[in-house]
Each structure stands twice: as C-alpha cells, then as structure tokens.
A and B are shown apart, each in its own frame.
Chain A
Amino acid sequence: MPAKGYVEISVEGCKGCKLCVINCPSDCLALKTSETNSYGLHYAYMTDEDNCIACQNCAVICPDAAITVYKKAS
C-alpha cells in the first residue's frame, strides 16, 4: 500500500540539527552519516518511504524550512 505521504529534504538547506529525526513519530528520518553537503553537514533524509503519515511534524520543527511535505491525494 503506498504511503500516506513523503517528504523532500533540501540537501544544501539542511543543517543536520537532527530535530526532524527525533520528532518523526514514524521513525522515517535519519542523518546521512556517510555523506555531507557542501557545508560539511550530515543532512537528514528519508530512510523509510513506506511509513510516512504526512503529519508535517518534521517540517514544523525544522528551523530552516528545508522540508517539503506531500500527502496522498484522496
């Protein structure tokens, strides 16, 4: 079953503060420890595309407005 939602996180816009990761109720996000963006920061990304519920918590908590949220069109 396709996920209720998904997010796009701007690689360069993310500062790797991790606030989205710890506030995602479905544990869909993580910091990319193997790579950094051009600012040398480990950016956040979606690890689990199946369980996003489009709650927008990540986008709300993100200080840098680096997250765009999509919801399944009903």
Chain B
Amino acid sequence: MKEGYKLIYQKPKTLREKRMHYCPGCFHATTHKLMMEVVEELGIQEKTIGVCPVGCSVFAYDYMDVDMQEAAHGRAAAVATGIKRMHPNKIVFSYQGDGDLAAIGTAETIHACNRGENFTFIFINNGIYGMTGGQMAPTTLEGQKTTTSPYGRDPKKAGPPLKMCEIVSQFEAVAYVERVSCNTPANARKAKRAIKKAFEYQIQGLGTTFIEVASNCPSGWKCTPEESLEWLKEKAFPYFPLGVFKKPEEV
C-alpha cells in the first residue's frame, strides 16, 4: 500500500479464494460478491446456510464461504424450507436461476412463498439457460432468440415471460420483494442494500424475502459484457421493471 493511503475496499473474506468460473461480466459473480459482503458486514457467516441450484451457479459452494447444500434442480425452496424449519435462528438463503426457480421448481417456490417460509430467495433472472448451452427459459423475452427459440420466443407457443416478483408479491406471508440489477454501480449498490434488507427482515422473522436480480448472460445472449448491459437497459428492464413490489408494514 502506498504511503499516505488507507484501504477502503477489498474482496470480502467471506468469498473463498477459488476463482469463480463465471463468464466475464456475469452477474452471478457480482451477486455472489454482494451477498458475501452483506454476510461479512452483518457478521452472520457462522449462522448462514445457503442452498445452491443446478445451473451455472451449481458450484456456488466453492465460492461462498458458508455452509451450503446442493439441491436437485428446482428443489432449492424445499431444501431451504427443511433447513430453516429445523434451524429457525440461522440465516438461510436459496440461490436459483430462472429454470430452477420459475420452471422446474415453480411449485416449490410458490408454496414456500405461500407458507411464508422465513428464508431469503435470491433469484438470478437472465432469461436463458446458461449452463446447458443457451436454451429458452420461462423468463426469455418475446422475440428473444435462444437455441430452442431460434426464431424468437413466440408467446402463442410458449406463453409470455413469467414475472416472478409480480407473482410472489401477491402472497400474504411474503414480507419483502424487490427486483434489482447490477448493470451500473448505482444499481449494484441498490442490489446490495436490498439483499441486506432481506437478510435483516429474515432475522426479524417477518416472512419470506425475495430478491430478483435482473441479470445478463453474455455467452447465451451472444454479445460482449458491455453489450449485455445495453440489452438489459433497453429490452429487459421495460418488461422486468426494477423496484420494490412489497415491503413490510411500517411499524
């Protein structure tokens, strides 16, 4: 360190040494980093148990330095339910992509939300199945080209994209729902604040907390990381608006 300067930011100690395998620019990595900063700042590393999905983030346990369980595809909400019910005083989160949470795992997601299971959903929505090579997801935008919608998503065949924040905020027992993104420093800071709020509400026992991160997939979308940010702003945000959909009653 140069003389006369002080350290004001470094990689959180709660992120493990292992280099994250995510593609350059991927918001999985950004979200992992923000989540682990929150865990470090709240001092809850020894009380946190995470559930990771099947998808690009299947190795999340190699990056997040907290106890974790790998769930079968789609089942993270059920696995998190099992953990949190047994350990109500621990901080439990499920971390899922759009296939995991909104396709194969929809029933588990809906019912965990309806029961108000007191854990935090972190939902990475990038409108595509990255790990398996770029197929259509339930949140793929109309007209968006993927390997299984090579001519663009046709809502007549596939239905329109699913808006999960809008759906889960209907449930009475869900306490906090916010859609965020990491496409600008301002948005990334907001995303971190949202994650922190979600964990704090969990600690207060207020019910289900749900953070959707409108994310990118440069590899699947076949563009540069820089271009993926443009796509988010121009195409994704109009359909998946950022903001708070539900928050606890002011006491």
Given the complex of chains A and B, what is the CA–CA distance between A35 and B144 in angstroms? 35
Using an 8 Å CB-CB cutoff, how does the interface string of A38-51 with B read, 1 for contact, 0 for none?
A: 00010000000000
CB pair B1 A70 closer than 8 Å: yes
CB pair A68 B185 closer than 8 Å: no
Using an 8 Å CB-CB cutoff, how does the interface string of A58-74 with B read, 1 for contact, 0 for none?
A: 01111111111111110
CB pair B33 A63 closer than 8 Å: yes
Given the complex of chains A and B, what is the CA–CA distance between A39 and B42 in angstroms? 34
Q: Which listed residue, A13, A22, A71, touches B6 by the CB 8 Å rule? A: A71
Given the complex of chains A and B, what is the CA–CA distance between A66 and B20 in angstroms? 11
Given the complex of chains A and B, what is the CA–CA distance between A69 and B1 in angstroms? 10
CB pair B24 A41 closer than 8 Å: yes
CB pair A63 B25 closer than 8 Å: yes
Count residues of chain A with CB under 8 A from any CB of chain B.
Answer: 32
Please classify how large the interface on chain B is, using the bins under 10, 10 to 19, 20 to 34, 35 or more.
20 to 34
Residue B78 is within 8 A (CB to CB) of chain A in the complex: no
- For A74, give the chain B residue with the smallest CB separation: B6
Residue B184 is within 8 A (CB to CB) of chain A in the complex: yes
CB pair B25 A71 closer than 8 Å: no
CB pair A19 B26 closer than 8 Å: no
CB pair B226 A22 closer than 8 Å: yes
Q: Using A2-B4, A63-B26 as known contacts, list a sample of 19 further A-B pairs with CB atoms less than 8 Å apart, ordered by residue number in A.
A: A6-B2, A13-B19, A18-B25, A23-B185, A59-B9, A61-B182, A61-B184, A61-B185, A62-B30, A63-B24, A63-B25, A63-B28, A64-B33, A65-B12, A65-B29, A69-B8, A70-B7, A71-B6, A73-B4
